[in-house]
Amino acid sequence: MPTPEHSRRTSPASDPSPPGAPSRALRMRAASGWVRFMRRAEAVGSYPVGPDGYERHPLVGARVRDTASGAEGELTAVTRELHGDGREVRIAHIRGENGVEWTASADNIQAAPFTAHVAWAAPSDRRADLFIDIPSELEAALIDLPLPAWRMDGSFLAKSTTEEYRTELTATPRFEETAATLRHALTGEGGGCAVLRLGNIAEAMGIGDRFLRLATGFAAEVAVPFSPFPRWPLWKDIGVKIDKDPGKSSGIGYNAFHMDLVNATLPPDYTTLLCVRPDPLGGGHSILSDAHAAVARLPEDSRSLLAETAYHYGTFFDLHGVGEEYKPFPVLGGGDGFVRFTAKMLERSELGRAHAEAARELAEELVRGQVSFMLKPGDYLIVAQRRFLHGREALAGGQHQVEPDRRRLLLQLFLRASASDGPTA
């Protein structure tokens, strides 16, 4: 992050003010007064919550710093969440200069030092380059590209389809460059998640069979697409069901951090989500958090508890291509690189007190390190489950008034990193 202007030692001659502009001394006095004002505001502590559910925090709209990570951005809101154990947690929502929103504990927020020229400093465990745009010449070529229907080999995309798609796609301008950028974002150092922005293509052709073939072609450049659910097609609908458990993927409430198929011996290496429609009322932001970074911030005794085979969650029925049921399982150290975790087990599984507390600490660290963003129609989110966990903020209130065919809709596809884990395994 650039050194703040007011902290550099310069002589008046080396820091001239433009004609009519405040002098350096006056700017320094203004900065000092700003910091004193914000410190008084911070000293108040907690603040009332308005009828809209947002805390009336005096720093909303101001530039703040998260003392835990050192990251800075504009404080957009402070909300409160009730955890399963009855504790109320204050969450600060912060928007970086690049437009990506992330959250932190509101207790760690303070006014950032005054400066007119400061770049957003993302923590090392957050990705600032999450989004990948499609070059315009590639978009134009893909809109006119008629890929054939895919074929399946059991639960997995047939190898012949993968080869056929690759032949067609690599003939288009800049496809190989874009696919390489995507793979690097997912497998390069510090990587593990990406959003491929296919919105212009989706708008041009609609999100139907032709579009899904293109998205499947991009996915196949990363790993082998497959469906673990024999009763569902390759792409599985995740719509909104207002009468379902709010914490589920198709519910309307907060969907806590988790990895998909956490209780399988061979979980999908990647989970992917294609946005057909966002929440028309503006809720349902996607959330991601670097699980390895969160674990690294835990004390050693908590990591030791998480490495014990003492956790369990969910049921296991009629699944293909993901191994066998894993129960109980360790969160850490399973030998497969996964942080095998779902915060939902804190409320829905019977865990020992010490193990539950260690899991709760991890859940809080995941929230502290999260990024939040809204998927737009055609956005294709790909998450490497060995590195990142995902979830969703609550949908906006009033879902009962939204017609079912206008509610939020995502399509989900899973990927297996190695073809050797496919039908021949």
Give the residue from 268, 260, 356, 259 showing the smallest Cα distance to 308: 356
Quick check: bond before 148 cis, omega within 30?
no
Q: Which fold has domain 131-421?
A: Double-stranded beta-helix (3.60.130)
The answer to which of 35-49, 350-364, 387-401 has the lowest mean pLDDT is 35-49
Model confidence at 45, pLDDT cuts 50, 70, 90, reads very low
For residue range 254-299, what is the model confidence (pLDDT) as tens digits?
A: 999 999 999 999 999 999 999 999 999 999 999 999 999 999 999 9
Bridging pattern class, strands 255-258 and 270-277: unpaired
Q: Note the pLDDT of residue 200.
A: 97
Bridging pattern class, strands 270-277 and 236-238: unpaired
The radius of gyration of the chain from alpha carbons, rounded to an integer in Å, stands at: 24
Domain spans in the chain, listed from the N-terminal domain onward: 5-111, 131-421
| pTM of the shown model | 0.72
SS3 content of the chain, % helix, strand, coil (to 5): 30, 20, 50
Distance from C-alpha of 155 to C-alpha of 421, rounded to nearest angstrom: 11
